[in-house]
Structure 1
Amino acid sequence: MKETAGTRPEFVVVGVLSKPHGIRGELKVYSYAERPESFQEYARLLLSPDQGEHQTAYEVERARVLGRQVILKLKGCDDRNTAETLVGQTLWVGNEELPPLEAGEFYLYELEGKEAVSEDGRHLGQVRRVLTSDTQDLLAIDHQGKEVLVPLVAAFLVSHDATRVVLRLPPGLLEINS
């Protein structure tokens, strides 16, 4: 699953199975997608208990959205006991199944591996990963051997290209993280 900056990975993490839903094998999904309804378009998902090293493919029977939650039914998962064995697994989708983007949009994985620089050109480090949550997405940047977390908000993200992420950070943010 290694990639270099500017390349599109073969598979992308789209969520994690959080708990069973009911007795018929459905599962609640903690979705990383900005638009959870994207799950309704996926024909197949890969499940992995260990960050993608060992993946098992499942056909999607159906997916429905309840607020930010996705209720997912996978082919072959027909009862609560089977669903419970899948809880905690990461969901991956092939990049060919990702929905098309609107103008100005990008996928968060596109930032990973790029050099982070300030608006004035100062090297900040390399973006190692993007952490997602309900409240705030964060860039994890390797800054002078330490991991620095930077909120991924429009006010801080100036631009990005094939190799760099340009950030406008408030004074003291790097020092707070150090």
Structure 2
Amino acid sequence: MNKEDVLEDFILIGKVLRPHGKKGDLRIKYFNPDPLFILNYSRLFLLDHKRGIFRSFKVKQVLVKKGNLIVTLEGINDRDAAERWSQSSIYVHRNDLPPLEEGEYYYADIIGLKVFSEEGEYVGEVVNIFSTGSNDVYEIKGPEREILLQASNDVIKEINLKERKMIVKIPEEY
């Protein structure tokens, strides 16, 4: 996820890869470890970057197939309609998300945070997040360099969403 994926009040959850079959189903890549998470949402919002269209769709059916989801959305009824939404970003409204535990954050809340060292020196801004399996990695773009920081308690000392800032311990290799 990077800065271009963040929309106010919406959270990116996946991407339309391509049509599936002739009836308008969509093959979707999802950004959640649980493929059935999408069943929690009755509506998905698709953003077609090429056409500049952002539209809400009601979810009719979801199937898991070969590491992707096959999703049927109301109003997309044939392959041609599905093709028009290929490569679109998929969002849910922030109000539809479950509450988080203390110390948990959505990627969209981390992207754009100003990053400072424990000594108060400005390091840069979080511009991207990579999921590696064990820990996420934050890409920080600063005025002089870009660095990658592991999202662990050893490195990330404080996240303050109200002030839109993060305090980090800079590893010795930087």
Length-normalised TM-score, structure 2: 0.75
Letter in 2 for 1:10: D
Q: What is the Cα-based RMSD across aligned positions, in Å? A: 2.9
Distance 1:49 1:149 in 2: 31
Letter in 2 for 1:61: K
**2:169 pairs with 1:168:** yes
**How many equivalent residue pairs?**
164
5+ long unaligned stretches in structure 2 = 1-6
Distance 1:90 1:106 in 2: 20
Q: Which digits, 9 at most, give the CA deviation of each residue in 1:98-147, with x for residues without a partner?
A: 122234321111112322122333220122x334467685434330165x
Alignment of 1:38-117 (within 5 A): 38-50=37-49, 54-66=53-65, 68-117=67-116
Please say if residues 107 and 129 of structure 2, whose CA atoms lie closer than 8 Å, have aligned partners that are also in contact: no
Please say if residues 40 and 64 of structure 1, whose CA atoms lie closer than 8 Å, have aligned partners that are also in contact: no
Please say if residues 39 and 70 of structure 1, whose CA atoms lie closer than 8 Å, have aligned partners that are also in contact: no
Length-normalised TM-score, structure 1: 0.74
Percent sequence identity over aligned pairs: 24
Give the structure 1 partner of residue 143 of structure 2: 144
Please say if residues 42 and 97 of structure 1, whose CA atoms lie closer than 8 Å, have aligned partners that are also in contact: yes
Give the structure 2 partner of residue 156 of structure 1: 155
Please state how far the C-alpha of 1:53 moved relative to its aligned partner: 5.4
Letter in 2 for 1:150: L
Please state how far the C-alpha of 1:17 moved relative to its aligned partner: 0.4
Please state how far the C-alpha of 1:77 moved relative to its aligned partner: 1.8
Please state how far the C-alpha of 1:76 moved relative to its aligned partner: 1.9
Please say if residues 44 and 57 of structure 2, whose CA atoms lie closer than 8 Å, have aligned partners that are also in contact: yes
Give the structure 2 partner of residue 120 of structure 1: 119
Please say if residues 125 and 140 of structure 2, whose CA atoms lie closer than 8 Å, have aligned partners that are also in contact: yes
Q: Using a 3 Å threshold, how does the CA distance of structure 1 residues 23 and 41 change in structure 2: closer, same or farther?
A: same
Please say if residues 21 and 71 of structure 1, whose CA atoms lie closer than 8 Å, have aligned partners that are also in contact: yes
Q: Using a 3 Å threshold, how does the CA distance of structure 1 residues 75 and 134 change in structure 2: closer, same or farther?
A: farther
Please say if residues 25 and 82 of structure 1, whose CA atoms lie closer than 8 Å, have aligned partners that are also in contact: yes
